[in-house]
Chain A
Amino acid sequence: MSSIQKPSRDRLGDSLTALCGGALALNLLLILALLGLLLANGGGYFWQKPLEELTLADGRVLLGEIHDRKPVAARAGETVAPEAQRIQLKVGNRDLDGIDFLWLDESEIVSRSRPLDTVVLERLEWGNFYGRMVELRRGSELLAAGPEEVWKAFGPLHEEKLREREAIRKLEKGPIGDVNHAIERLRLERRKVALARLPAAAEEARLAGLEAAEREREAEYEALAERLFSLRAALDAEVVLLEAADGRRKELPVGAVVRALRPNTFGFLDKLALNASRLGEFVFDDPRESNTEGGIFPAIFGTVMMVFLMSFAVVPFGVLAALYLREYAKQGPLVRAVRIAVNNLAGVPSIVFGVFGLGFFVYLVGGSIDRLFYPEALPTPTFGTGGILWGALTLALLTVPVVIVATEEGLAAVPRIVREGSLALGATKFETTFKVVLPAAAPGILTGMILAMARAAGEVAPLMIVGMVKLAPALPVDGNFPFVHLERKFMHLGFHIYDVGFQSPNVDATKPLVFATALLLIAVVTTMNLVAIAIRNHLRRKYAGSAV
């Protein structure tokens, strides 16, 4: 009998084991690095940096925020000091210089300071202005002069202007939007009457009525436009005279300022408050300057609404299909094949679903709806073009396998004895399935739904084809009948990232915004997934013991 030997030390095996562990560690490192990268870049978007005034060796004076630094790259045949750095300065004033950012060697800087009287003006157009305030005027009347005086007078005036701007916005979005909408409806109504081929007299009478209504609306519009015009004039009445670091001056209507700051006077709490205010703007405001500034509210709204529309479609159908597969169909090779096919559909590229959505929903179904119900608007398509409904349905197809699989798993986890108990008590199969089994499988269905929603929230490629746009003129929900406009195009967080990050002319300036958007998207998707995972684990634990 051989004695029991302790296995000898296997050096190669140990090393290879270590390498496998390294692979796992690298996976974890990558994911953490990615999250960290997004947090660092996206989280810093709202944080106000101090304003630095730099005097260069050639006498130029620059004012701006330092955004990045990197070591100077040595050109061939040159030696550089190892500590030499290049800094990226955000100089703003795009209207004066045409650029937002510039790189300069730190060695060129002669002196640097953080003057307290410098201001950052976030503007409606042209991005930020960095400089000093010189004068405040209303027409030819001088209201204040000198940095301190102007700054004191500016605050209250600006608040008043913000209120005026809000009033203008309300007027534009409210009454004026409504009147425009009504006029458009009347126009379509007229076209409809013309297309209906009524007897001439009836047609004439109806047209006359419509025209009268339209004239009334036009008059209403004129009055509103008048009011808007005077409000706009009032908004632009006061101007502030600004001076850039190099002495160039620029006049700016106070009403065109979004926010005015003196960042060098800020303490930590001020910055925190500013951060919160900017975060609020980011989440709740409309975008400005073709999405590169302002908020992303329409994109958030579009994403959420699309995802909910999708879940309305996907959950009933997915659950029905799963019920059939698991409870009603006769288990056999056919059902097994169907199950494999459904599973595999989850692996079919999303762009394929997009192509299908375009061909089927948009052109076939949408085109037919247009011909039947909206002939008066043709050739402008109503449903025959991409829209939020088609986007939601396309994603529903994309995610229905997720719901089916999760629901089936939930149904399978319901112990057989539960069913048998119900049947033994005289319940029919229908009653057993819907009153006993289905409620028990609810967490599974919920998991499937959340996973489907998370997938849908992050999916971009198919939506690019069936209805997503970079800038939607109106939300899919508003105060005009029928209130929910499923045919409208919509904005989406994911597409916002693609569009602003890759289609915008000024990538340097927009990158932080994209990082912030990406962070928001990831936060939403990750939270949904974590919830789904938690529910699933709970479900598994609950039934782990009882599955027979």
Chain B
Amino acid sequence: MTPTAPPSSPLPTARTPRRRLVADRAARLLVSAGGIGIIASILGILVFILLEVLPLARPAAVLPERTIPLATPVLAALGDEYRTHLAALSPDGRVRVLRLEDGAVVAERAIDPAAPAQDEEAIVAAMVPPGSSLLAAATTDGRVVLQEVDWEIAFDEGLRRTVTPRLEPPLALAVDPERRPLAVFAAVQAGETDYAAAGLTAGGTVRLVTLFGSENLLTGEIETTEVASEAPAPAGLDALVLDHQVRNLFGGTANGDLVWWPVEDGRLGPPQAFPAGSSAVTALTLLIGDRTLVAGQADGTISVWFLVRQADESFQLTRIRDFPRQRAAIAQLAPSQRNRTFLAVDAAGELGLYFSTSNRTLWRGSLPLGPATAATFSPKADGAFVATGRGLAALEIRNPHPEITADSLFARVWYEGYEQPEYAWQSTGGTDDFEPKLSLTPLLIGTLKGTLYSLLLAIPLGVLGAMYASQFMHPTLLRFVKPTVEIMAALPSVVLGFLAGLWLAPRVERAFPALLLLLLAAPAAVLLAGWAWRSLPARLRNRLRPGTEVGLYFLALLAAFSVSFSLSERFEGLAFGGDFQAWLLAATGQTYDQRNAIVVGLAMGFAVIPIIFAISEDAFSNVPRNLVAGSLALGANRWQTVTRVVLPTASPGIFSAIMIGFGRAVGETMIVLMATGNTPITSWSAFNGFRTLSANIAVEIPEAPHGGTLYRTLFLAALLLFFMTFLVNTLAEIVRQRLRRKFAQL
């Protein structure tokens, strides 16, 4: 119907009371403002969702907080949770705890009580074992000394915080029994009371010492046993890193190789070398979870490596991804203890913040203080400390959503523990060091898969049914058919989902062959019924209203159903050796899930049929009567008229019906939630389940922390759904309006 143009107000006459005119103007203003406001706020939904998604794309920020001049150089540093203090280890072997506010030293102790007090070179190297609260130092006499730094945090009544550092007595592991200085070393806290350290001895071998502590239940004392092991080392080894389980020791050499020693029960296996280019490996670190090895090289290359299982069950250190090169040799690599972010500082004083999983360069910039001697993340990963020869820089890091890039959302990503790059959605895991996998691709595939299978059912049934109803049925009968279909449209999807999941799925599983039979039996039965109908004497047929034969088809279908289901088992025995699922597995290698795409297709198809039906019926019945009458008058029969005149004329309407049906299927939530197993897989098989974008939102958003990456990613999924349906519906609506204008002209 064309909108009637509102008649404009007549000119007010002099006798119209002022009050009424004011009321009229006020009403106009109110309705317009209200109307525009409401429409704007409806459209504001899109804006709001967009605003929630946008922070995902924002880069990280690294802000220099303060710089503190240092009296002595710092080789390793550890901060507290609130970034108020820093424990720094200097070459003189002393740990000094600095208050960052004013740079004052609040506590100090020698890391190695055995060393002479004024030795400027008491230690040769130092590090912070990733994920620990230890400062580790290699002494000149071949030992590794571990200093634990505890922070006591107390709140007074006014909720003011005091942080008191506590330096525990240090622990020493004699890595080289011959007491020669260790050129390179690595240390780790392997458990509550277990420690391990490995170093390159002057003899050119790598020696690993593991200290297993066990608490004596009677005395409460800790008894330790020490396991030492030695293995050959390649020439030029200049970096080492040890994982928390003491299963793997990694090294890097000056000629650009990475070296891997497998470790079992504290014993080193033979080393394996993997070439990483020609440039010397200058820094190595393991990210949280110990499965990602990051290597920095002299030419500024930063690469990520995994131990990947090979076909023969062995492991190979494999280069997974590279980050954009920095300009100078990588001097320091510091991993975050929250996620797979790490910090790289090169010899030229340039600083880079990277995220491994998403291969994202989060931030780059240069340090005001020059080349770094130590770099460490604060425990909450909201800050970092970089020590240089000239002073200490405390940095604030704002890095809320490092996990997201277009590639990590839509392309294959090589995750830790995977044998190749894959699409995966797994947002949460049981442990803190879990690597979230946030690929939307499996969900998009699931969404399209569910839509596809439901449209396979809904398009033929909806369009053909509508064609028949509008072209061959008497209006009196149509008056009953249409409301029935409208009721079908109004059925709550939760009921359909419940029936699909609990009633239909087990029955389809039991009698799948019957469905195959039905594909043949139903059309055959209808054709037979049609033939029988036409064989009736014309006199009898003409007395009934056109469309009455649907009742006959109805009975025929009932018969087809009962025949198919009663023959199901016999058919299964004949065609599939008695067990369809076993046959499926043997013939195609596919497994059969009870809640699969076929069940969803049936249930969601049921939900989409009435939409397609209603809109197609509208399109068919609005085809101008004169076209139909003309065609019939020219001698075409009913079927010819319908297929060659009505159908082409109405086809844009049918297109828009299918589009709107598509939109409904894409966004349907409850049916897929209940009738699939909700496994985010990427298979198109009809016999497996899937997870759609919408079901994924419903399942995960109640658990997603407000403002977190998962929360925003789910908003992104909602935005995708919004755009998909909005585009498709707009297209359909424009086509429909154009069609309507065309009909008006005909």
Instruction: Please indicate whether A and B come from the same complex rather than being unrelated chains.
Output: yes
What residues make up the interface of A, taking CB atoms closer than 8 Å to B? 4-5, 7, 10, 13-31, 34, 37-38, 41, 73-74, 76, 317-318, 320-321, 323-329, 331, 336, 338, 340-345, 347-356, 358-360, 363, 397, 400-401, 412, 416, 419-420, 423-424, 426, 428-431, 433-434, 454-455, 457-461, 464-465, 494-495, 497-498, 501-502, 507, 511, 514, 518, 521-522, 525-526, 529-530, 533, 547
Which one of B27, B49, B495, B522 lies within 8 Å of A355 (CB-CB)? B49
Stretch at the interface among B2-10, B184-192, B248-256: B2-10
Which one of A15, A348, A514, A525 lies within 8 Å of B490 (CB-CB)? A525
A343 and B733 contact, CB distance less than 8 A: yes
B34 within 8 A of A: yes
Most chain A CB within a 10 A radius of its CB, from B12, B42, B551: B42
Task: Given A7-B637, A341-B43, A347-B725, decide whether A320 and B557 contact each other with a Cβ distance below 8 A.
Answer: no
Q: Could you show 22 A-B contacts with beta carbons less than 8 Å apart?
A: A23-B465, A25-B551, A27-B462, A74-B569, A325-B39, A328-B32, A331-B6, A343-B733, A349-B668, A349-B694, A351-B694, A351-B721, A352-B49, A397-B42, A400-B42, A434-B27, A459-B492, A461-B669, A461-B698, A494-B494, A497-B498, A498-B498
Give 14 new A-B contacts, CB below 8 A, not counting A25-B554, A38-B499, A461-B670: A13-B639, A19-B523, A21-B550, A30-B488, A74-B569, A317-B34, A355-B49, A397-B42, A428-B16, A430-B20, A430-B23, A430-B28, A460-B493, A494-B492
A430 and B24 contact, CB distance less than 8 A: yes
Interface residues of B in 526-552 (CB under 8 A from A): 526-527, 529-531, 533-534, 547, 549-551
Docked CA distance A423–B550 (Å)? 52
B579 and A359 contact, CB distance less than 8 A: no
A7 and B24 contact, CB distance less than 8 A: no
What residues make up the interface of B, taking CB atoms closer than 8 Å to A? 1, 3-7, 9-10, 12-13, 16, 20-21, 23-24, 26-28, 31-32, 34-36, 38-39, 42-43, 45, 48-49, 52, 460-462, 464-465, 467-469, 472-473, 481, 483-488, 490-495, 497-499, 501-503, 510, 522-523, 525-527, 529-531, 533-534, 547, 549-551, 553-554, 556-558, 569, 578-579, 606, 609, 613, 635-640, 643, 660, 663-664, 666-670, 673-674, 694, 697-698, 701-702, 706, 714-715, 718, 721-722, 725-726, 729-730, 733-734, 737
Docked CA distance A5–B637 (Å)? 11
Docked CA distance A158–B1 (Å)? 67
Which one of B467, B468, B490 lies within 8 Å of A529 (CB-CB)? B490
Residues of B within 8 A of A317 (CB): 34, 38
- Taking the nearest CB of chain B, how far is it from the CB of A493, in angstroms? 9
Task: Kindly count the residue-residue contacts between A and B in the assembled complex, taking CB atoms under 8 Å apart.
Answer: 350
A324 and B550 contact, CB distance less than 8 A: no
Which one of B13, B465, B486, B525 lies within 8 Å of A24 (CB-CB)? B465
B557 and A29 contact, CB distance less than 8 A: yes
- Taking the nearest CB of chain B, how far is it from the CB of A430, in angstroms? 4
- Taking the nearest CB of chain A, how far is it from the CB of B518, in angstroms? 10
Task: Given A428-B20, A457-B492, decide whether A19 and B609 contact each other with a Cβ distance below 8 A.
Answer: no
B-side interface mostly: helix
Which one of A5, A19, A24, A345 lies within 8 Å of B42 (CB-CB)? A345
Task: Given A37-B499, A460-B494, decide whether A533 and B486 contact each other with a Cβ distance below 8 A.
Answer: yes
Residues of B within 8 A of A74 (CB): 569, 578
Docked CA distance A434–B24 (Å)? 10
A76 and B725 contact, CB distance less than 8 A: no
Residues of A within 8 A of B694 (CB): 349, 351, 461
Residues of A within 8 A of B635 (CB): 4-5, 7
B32 and A329 contact, CB distance less than 8 A: yes
A353 and B16 contact, CB distance less than 8 A: no
Docked CA distance A494–B715 (Å)? 24
Docked CA distance A23–B616 (Å)? 14
Closest A residue to B13 by CB, please name it. Answer: A426
Most chain B CB within a 10 A radius of its CB, from A5, A22, A514, A526: A22
Residues of B within 8 A of A22 (CB): 522-523, 525-526, 529-530, 553, 556-557
B667 and A351 contact, CB distance less than 8 A: yes
A24 and B468 contact, CB distance less than 8 A: yes
A529 and B487 contact, CB distance less than 8 A: yes
